[in-house]
Structure 1
């Protein structure tokens, strides 16, 4: 076992921990609330006050990441100023191709082995640690304590421990002694179904990893994690080791083609390795399309039952949706249990049986599903004066992006519907369409994204986001004024009003939940910088559809955009 993961906490580690938590407290109290990138929630456990820390999901993708820690799931305890980390999850990691650092060519060039591929079990992420000097076992979900998932996990922990003659206190003492957090997946169809099926003997807690309760991510080797699982009676997570990334990729591809590993379907793999430059731990995941298709069906069923918009990535989902609607007509109570996460697996099996028997169904479409034709809505989230129209015009010149301005599309009656209709018509003829409106209010974003997904469920939505968390109102106002000629008091008043009413993007909220990706731009940067950031972001997200242009092409597109002087309309439905 690596000494760094199990040695007593050093004075330097304790100092770094205090510095981190001081920064977290400062960021969580930032005013106004729209500038907060860190939030905290307090819990009372065994007479102790614990704090759970959470950040907006899209921030993990920002490069460089602005968060003081990338730990996803972080709990601290003790008085402010002398707190310690009592439980932490893995640093946020991404699926293959999801970010630049999880593309295969980057991985093969910038990481080194050994590559440990552990099975990605399909359940709830659970953290366990020892508090109260190791006398009490803390069991949490990803971010919360005393919720149904953590309570079910605690009950399972007690069952596992009892089977090998151990107690919760013994596990708590072990984790406290080693300053460590155990990371589990809770897989229990009787509690709540997820996507994949877990028969009786396979239900329970799968020990996936053990992490040191420190600022830096220090993980125990998988072999030692397996020994701990056996010692305390938990399910061990199966893993495989390869010397090269290419070998690991070949193995994962074979499992995907086989549609099973040792006779059972799996979600994919979590891969552990090291960065080649500094040998720091590096993780990524390989999720199979068949699993993601089934996941889409589960989510979509809930939306159809509730008569809400849903997103579609796979062509077969439309047929599944039609089948669900027919089932609801014949038996309105057919999916009543879905809201309790019951009946998910049975419904999927019924549809696949129906599809293969009645619709000239092809099994390959279930296990190697075809994705829908690419359509992408580019939705700015900004305030006026940031240069969004310049970016839109330049992207149009570079890539043929459709450009719909709210000014030109609006009608006096039902302006939102008119604008949305114009965007949908543009998506009929363009792969990418820029919906040129500030969309600075969450309600307006929700209306647009829901309408687009309702009419075009397969459309990807990318937010081009000019955030306000790194500058003051006066600084942002000055930057907006610099972009306008002439700039009068009426203009300044409109800008100031929008700045004060600006609602930050939050992908975990209902309003922004349909946004797929975020490209961050800078309200204080010049047009050339923001255009290049947008181009780089889009080419990275859609490498098959967009080829990176030359610097000369980008410069010409920007010049073309700047020569077009759009007329400023400052009050179009409240969203210029």
Structure 2
């Protein structure tokens, strides 16, 4: 009896233990309770094994505090939306979850004027909170590109060890997870399919399938791990059959090179390279080679050795990304080094080809680049088929190899020598509206630095725009700097100006002087600028308070204003952007421009006395030209209703609330960035009146004319 009881007791204990164990083992894979670091999965322990004297390197888990900070960051992004921040919406195909991609202007990163330095950020809303789904690196810069990446700053502001990681030459791919074991694969700012082209994210996911299959893993397992640990895998897609960049890869080395795993936190928190490499091997990714150096001198010595060799492991490389931490806060800090030989020269040849195909004059830095320009210009004429897919990043290597073969046949030696550079001219382009103070500012700059000052308001005639551009190009040939004095408040004006200059000159940098219109309401800006127009009285060529329409004209400019946006193909051609406040007086804005131009143009800053004297001189400025504006009614092409809201966001909200509506075309337009900036509903167009129009259309036109 006692024996039977003992056996029964043991059986019950074993059974209870078994049930407890299987309960843990079969726990819902989507359980999110480990967000504060408890119950970390076995995977992270396995992936953090190292061959150091320690058994493992600990990864700080995402805490509740991190989640709160992420929610606060995303709330700030929403507050900044439409100003310095752009948001695109994507629907994750498998899960149906809506994800938001956030973009900032490239020039704002340098000045730390963005809500986050993260470059590549996707978020989602969940339970009235916001969470980060994809988190890229903080924007990092080349040596000497910004103050923080000057060697003397790196020596004093960072601490070892320094992880020197090879910079693979491809495009960025982010991988993360959602509840339900759904994998998320994106490019820097986009996900899903692209209209008329294979998207980077799609190709990235295809490669992910191959890598995981190779080691017997699944996307569901990876998604589960990444979501539980609130992490983003950061990889480089290198596949020359899909897209060529600058340096070729052997076919057996195509794929995703895993170079980082970031926690999905507001501040950048990234895994050490040793753990990332182990993780890459376990999950089938291509690992990225890295070297650990203890001091800045060791880093410099190492990169100089590779520079002399021009290759690493018998292949040319783009350069290195150096990962370290700041002395003051222990924050992760990255900077990069790119090699001239051969990477930057080959990249210059690619850009020369693109410029030649676009009928622009490219800038040349290397001795061989001038010869390449002549050769490729001729080849475009005689063998146009070679370049049919160049715009799709195909044929880059083939064209370059043909040129290298041409050099070899001539007996020329491939040299990386640079040529003496022509003087780089500077074109300053204002972007603002009436009354911002652009002419007053430019009068001062012209006197201080002997820049040519071309005023659009001084040019009269039907072909004023052509003459304006001609005068700018002519002045650039004889002056180091030219001031293109015009509002340039819409993208079309900026586009035609940039094209006119770049089709004529290669040695010009274009600097935007940007009066920020996003941080103030239109009413605030009008109040500030209209006072200036009244105050200046008759001291203007065209718009004075005597013109009864001056307020309407000012409002037209304000309503038409299109902010600078580095994410479009026009504004991203500005080499630098100097941002000004509409409310500032001319002296304050002049100081800002001088301080920001100083490191660009490398001039000696004028003394306070000289600045004061110039400001006093221009206070007596009187225009010498008079131009009639506003009295002649403009030719009307159509009557319509202008939509003063963001159409893309409006439609996104609509489709979210009406999931049964077919939104396929809209999503393709969003993903292809095909939705423009300004929208209206046309009520009637002048073309409808040209050929025997019905009476009701004539009457309708007349009614709108009266309105």
Tell which structure's C-alpha radius of gyration is larger.
Answer: 2
Is 1:274 aligned to residue 314 of structure 2? no
Q: C-alpha separation between the residues in 2 aligned to 1:572 and 1:357?
A: 63
2:157 is matched with 110
Residue from 39, 42, 45 that aligns with 2:87? 39
* Cα shift at 1:445: 0.7
Count of matched residue positions in the alignment of Structure 1 and Structure 2: 561
Q: Distance in 2 between the 1:473 and 1:193 partners?
A: 45
Match of 1:364, SS? coil
Distance 1:156 1:478, change over 3 A: same
Give the whole-Å Cα distance in 2 for the aligned partners of 1:311 and 1:9. 48
Q: Does the alignment pair 1:86 with 2:133?
A: yes
Other-structure match for 2:99: 51
Matched, 1:294 2:346: yes
Q: Counterpart in 1 of 2:461?
A: 412
- Please, what TM-score do these two structures have when normalized by structure 2? 0.74
Identify the residue that residue 429 of structure 2 maps to in structure 1.
379
**What corresponds to 1:99 in structure 2?**
146
Within 2, Cα distance between the matches of 1:251 and 1:547? 36
Equivalent-residue separation in structure 1 for 2:159 and 2:621 (angstroms): 50
> Which residue is 1:199 aligned to?
250
In structure 1, the gaps of 5 or more residues are: none
Aligned partner of 2:474 in structure 1 is 425
Q: Which residue of 2 aligns with 1:141?
A: 187
State the Cα distance separating 1:371 from its structure 2 match.
4.9
Task: String of CA shifts for 1:6-63, please: whole Å, max 9, x gaps.
Answer: 44432222222222223333433x5xxxx46232212223223232322242353363
Does residue 530 of structure 1 match 2:589?
Answer: yes
Which stretch shows the higher mean deviation, 209-218 or 47-56?
47-56
Is 2:119–2:136's contact at 8 Å kept on the other side of the alignment? yes
Query: What is the distance in 2 between the residues matched to 1:571 and 1:357?
Result: 64
CA deviation string 1:92-122 (max 9, x = no partner): 2222333333333433343333322211111
2:542 corresponds in structure 1 to none
Question: Contact (CA 8 Å) 1:310, 1:454: kept in 2 or not?
Answer: yes
Aligned residue runs from structure 1 range 210-289, under 5 A: 210-289=261-340
1:262/1:394 CA distance change after superposition, 3 Å: farther
CA shift for structure 1 position 348: 1.2
Q: What residue number does 2:619 align with?
A: 562
> How far is the alpha carbon of 1:88 from its aligned partner?
1.1
**Native 8 Å contact 1:112 1:273 kept in 2:** yes
Distance 1:241 1:149, change over 3 A: same
Counterpart CA distance in 1 for 2:626 and 2:595 is: 30
| Match 2:450 to one of 400, 425, 428 | 400
- SS across alignment from 2:389: helix
* Structure 1 residue 472: Cα displacement: 1.3
Please say if 1:339 is aligned against 2:388. no
State the secondary structure of the residue aligned to 2:356: helix
**1:25 maps to which of 56, 61, 78:** 78
CA gap of 1:63–1:511, structure 2 versus 1, over 3 A, is closer
- Which of 179-188 and 335-344 deviates more? 335-344
Preserved contact between residue 185 and residue 205 of structure 1 (Cα < 8 Å): yes
- Counterpart of 1:472 in structure 2 is 521
1:380–1:465 contact (8 Å) kept in structure 2: yes
2:203 maps to which residue?
152
* Partner Cα distance (2:120, 2:426) in 1: 32
Q: What does residue 330 of structure 1 align with?
A: 382
Query: What is aligned with 2:697?
Result: none
Q: Deviations over 1:139-158 (max 9, x none)?
A: 11111112321121112122
- Structure 2 unaligned runs (5+)? 1-47, 50-55, 194-198, 538-544, 633-707
CA distance in 1, matches of 2:94, 2:292: 40
Paired with 1:53 and 1:391, the residues of 2 have a C-alpha distance of 37
Residue 170 of structure 2 corresponds to 123
| Cα separation, 1, equivalents of 2:608 and 2:408 | 51
CA RMSD in angstroms, aligned pairs only: 2.8
Work out which structure has the larger RCO, using CA pairs closer than 8 Å and 6 or more positions apart in sequence: 1
Distance (whole Å) between structure 1 residues aligned to residue 261 and residue 601 of structure 2? 36
- Structure 2 distance, partners of 1:527, 1:171, is 57
CA distance in 2, matches of 1:570, 1:104: 54
Instruction: Tell me, yes or no, if structure 1 residue 15 matches structure 2 residue 72.
Output: no
